């Protein structure tokens, strides 16, 4: 890989994995929360 | 009540062994996709390094279409047969579909600027993909807008079924009309128009995205089912 | 019975909706197209000064760069008809002979398309340079 288009590639991959990471985090936080509630 | 939960119970049994397998596949495929996509795959003869954006843009677009189609199918099953897991599936999958569509739109923009010379154009492919993003957001807003959760899910199901006409439009826009966006490189009947060394990261990412989606949608479904149970227990007078 | 009613109701709504959307898209065909090809433009008799987008392949060997300015002119073709384009400005990275372009602008009195904006369009083929070179070589040998 050469350095051409570094900004565009880094921004695309960075954004992609930030969004997917955030979705993963939100999903597991919601699951942990619902498990802690009484009656479950 | 027991009859209504018979299905979710079987579903939760299934999740117990599907989830860990999907986690392993997701981690392996995403790692392989990142490594081959960013390190070992060759530059394109026309587009140079920027072709690497394809390895996330295209799988994200596939996920956006696939998730919407699966939500609409589940909504259909939910509306007709009142299958509770199917009803909850669309609600659980919508934010994930919206996320993949968002990734598809933004990476496409980041690829379009250096290659086409524009961040965005209003051609049929890009416009219909943007409509898909709004359909996801509209669905989420509609489901949340009702106090009675079941009413929200039913209204949302109708929106999903109406919006399904957009899916073939996205898919075939590049064949039906003149667009700036190029036609599909992978079609069922033709030899792929992508070199094997570039196909590997593309397909690894696609497998990784699918597996990650599977894990997340299963956990979200478990969450929705648990929430439903809690609510019914509370309404039933005493935990 | 209720299930079947719901099923028929939903299927009926979906069928009529798809028919409506299909017909509207068919009627709007010309407006949905992002650009016109030289053949379509010649058929339509577009008036000078009317802005539209013209798209096609940059014909090999027709690109002329004017010295000292950023002006270029070239011919676009759809393999049937062709048109001359003049443009002043920066070209996208992907712009080259044999590749697709979409130009925004209007025709002048002489029938030359004066572009104010040029976008590059690429095809669906992706391969490393070495593969492209060997394919080209193979094609040349076949011709011989």
In the prediction, which pLDDT does B4 show? 52
Per-domain boundaries in chain A: 1-40
In the prediction, which pLDDT does B189 show? 66
A24 Cα to chain B: minimum distance (Å): 7
Between B166-176 and B124-144, two packed helices, what is the crossing angle to 10 degrees? 170
Decide if B190 is inside a domain: no
Beta bridge mates, C115? C87, C105
SS3 content of chain A, % helix, strand, coil (to 5): 80, 0, 20
Choosing among B223, B225, B235, which should be mutated to test the A contact, i.e. which has the most A CBs within 10 A? Answer: B223
Residue B165: phi and psi, rounded to 5, are -60, -25
Domain that holds residue B62: 8-42+50-182+195-235
Separation in Å, CA B132 to CA A9, C29, C76 = 24, 20, 34
Number of Cβ within a 10 Å radius of residue C138: 10
Residues of chain B short of pLDDT 50, as ranges, are 1-3, 238-239
Chains adjacent to C (≥3 CB pairs closer than 8 angstroms): B
d(CA C139, CA C144): 9
Number of Cβ within a 10 Å radius of residue C30: 10
- The domain that holds B98 is classified in CATH as 1.20.120
d(CA B36, CA B204): 9
Decide if B162 is inside a domain: yes
Closest CA to B104 of B67, B159, B71, B138: B67
Decide if B1 is inside a domain: no
Measure CB to CB from residue B121 to each of C13, C21, C119 and give the nearest one: C119
B196-221 per-position pLDDT tens digit:
899 999 999 999 999 999 999 999 99
Decide if B105 is inside a domain: yes
Within 13 Å of residue C133, how many CA atoms lie on the same side as its CB?
Answer: 3
What are the mean pLDDT values of chain C's consecutive 10-residue runs (144 residues total)? 80 87 83 88 85 91 84 90 91 88 92 92 87 84 76
In the prediction, which pLDDT does C3 show? 79
Q: What is the ipTM of this complex?
A: 0.90
- Contact of C58 with C101, CB cutoff 8 Å: yes
Decide if B82 is inside a domain: yes
Contact A40 B229 (CB under 8 A): yes
H or E, element range at B5: helix B2-35
């Amino acid at each position: 890989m050469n350095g051409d288009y570094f900004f565009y590639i880094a921004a695309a991959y960075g954004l992609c994995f930030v969004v997917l990471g955030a979705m993963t985090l939100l999903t597991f936080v919601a699951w942990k929360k619902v498990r802690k509630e009484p009656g479950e | 009540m027991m009859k209504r939960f018979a299905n979710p119970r079987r579903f939760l049994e299934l999740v117990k062994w599907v989830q860990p397998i999907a986690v392993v596949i997701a981690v392996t495929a995403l790692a392989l996709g990142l490594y081959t996509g960013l390190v070992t795959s060759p530059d394109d003869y026309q587009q140079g390094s920027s072709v690497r954006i394809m390895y996330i843009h295209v799988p994200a677009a596939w996920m956006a279409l696939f998730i919407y189609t699966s939500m609409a199918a589940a909504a259909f099953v939910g509306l007709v047969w009142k299958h509770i897991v199917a009803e909850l599936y669309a609600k659980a999958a919508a934010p994930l579909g919206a996320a993949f569509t968002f990734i598809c739109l933004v990476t496409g923009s980041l690829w379009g600027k250096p290659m086409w010379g524009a961040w965005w154009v209003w051609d049929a492919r890009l416009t219909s993909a943007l409509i898909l993003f709004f359909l996801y957001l509209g669905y989420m807003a509609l489901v949340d807008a009702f106090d009675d959760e079941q009413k929200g899910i039913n209204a949302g199901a109708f929106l999903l079924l109406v919006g399904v006409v957009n899916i073939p439009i996205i898919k075939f826009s590049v064949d039906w009309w003149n667009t700036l966006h190029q036609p599909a490189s992978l079609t069922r009947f033709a030899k792929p128009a992508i070199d094997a060394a570039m196909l590997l990261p593309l397909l690894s990412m696609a497998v990784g995205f699918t597996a990650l989606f599977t894990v997340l949608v299963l956990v979200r479904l478990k969450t929705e089912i648990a929430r439903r149970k809690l609510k019914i227990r509370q309404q039933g007078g005493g935990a | 019975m209720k299930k079947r009613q719901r099923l028929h109701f939903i299927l009926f709504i979906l069928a009529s909706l798809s028919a409506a959307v299909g017909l509207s898209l068919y009627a709007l065909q010309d407006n949905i197209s992002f650009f016109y090809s030289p053949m379509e433009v010649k058929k339509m008799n577009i008036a000078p000064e009317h802005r539209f987008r013209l798209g096609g392949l940059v014909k090999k060997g027709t690109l002329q760069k004017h010295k000292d300015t950023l002006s270029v002119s070239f011919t676009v073709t759809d393999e049937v008809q062709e048109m001359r384009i003049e443009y002043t400005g920066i070209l996208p990275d992907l712009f080259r002979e044999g590749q697709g372009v979409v130009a925004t602008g209007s025709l002048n009195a002489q029938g030359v398309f004066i572009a104010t904006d040029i976008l590059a369009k690429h095809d669906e083929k992706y391969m490393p340079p070495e593969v492209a070179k060997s394919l080209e070589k193979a094609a040349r040998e076949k011709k011989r």
